[in-house]
Amino acid sequence: MTDLSIGIVGCGGRMGRTLLRQVTQTDGCTLAGGTEIDGHHAIGIDLGLLAGLEEPLNLVASADRQSLFETSDVIIDFTVPDTTALLAALAAETKTAHIVGTTGLDEDQMRVVTDAARRTVVVQAPNFSIGVNLLAALTRQVAQVLDPQFDIEILEIHHRHKVDAPSGTALALGHAAAEGRGVSLDNVADRARDGVTGARKVGNIGFASLRGGNVVGDHTVIFAADDERIELTHRAGDRTIFARGAVHAALWTQGKAPGYYTMTDVLGF
């Protein structure tokens, strides 16, 4: 079987460089190339150097997304919402599978992504870590078992450079908890507390976001009742766990029909 050809957009960023390295170290796939925005300092640099490898790959970062999509079986995208919407349209045009790890997309941007899934394979997840996806499954199960007298709070902390809050993973955990209780997160989410807020409303799902240092990402789901508390926690020590999951998802797309998929589909939970 021919190796799967994978392209990386945003290859000059922290996650992009990690993805470059992961693709080169994973059996069954090969690196097609990588792109960055016009004027980015990574343009023209060998992808092996960007990935921190000992040897060059004789592939350089470019700004030509069209060519990357046309020469790749799969594109992995951990960029920003505006860019992801543009890339989703390009994926649909070129019939290139699209792995989407970007968070913070609004309704219009999400619509572009889901529309693209009519013409190609799209796998989207707020977090590609296998451990985090297991945490979401456990959160759903625990929320289903416990009654609303157990208050649910979701705490997350990320590095100082993260631009969206709560994190996409925290929101995914919130949706999992809401699904377990048979409610819509939109109706019970409490995403901001400041000043005199009054007593906590029974049944709400609260969020707290912390930012600082170089924390890759910690998430804790707290179920708190009188005199007892259950806490489910996942701590990410390195971005490699996200890259490993994204490349696993890319390999999974082989032979799949066009459609919108999540890590639940990939992992078979």
Which is nearest to 154 in space by CA: 179, 173, 131?
173
158 is catalytic: yes
Q: Give the C-alpha separation, 262 to 128, whole Å.
A: 9
* Residues 34, 103 contacting (CB under 8 angstroms): no
Q: Give the C-alpha separation, 179 to 52, whole Å.
A: 42
162 is catalytic: yes
Q: Give the C-alpha separation, 187 to 205, whole Å.
A: 9
Q: Which position among 98, 158, 234, 248 bears the catalytic label?
A: 158
Q: Give the C-alpha separation, 102 to 81, whole Å.
A: 6
Q: Which position among 98, 161, 162, 219 bears the catalytic label?
A: 162
Catalytic positions are 158, 162
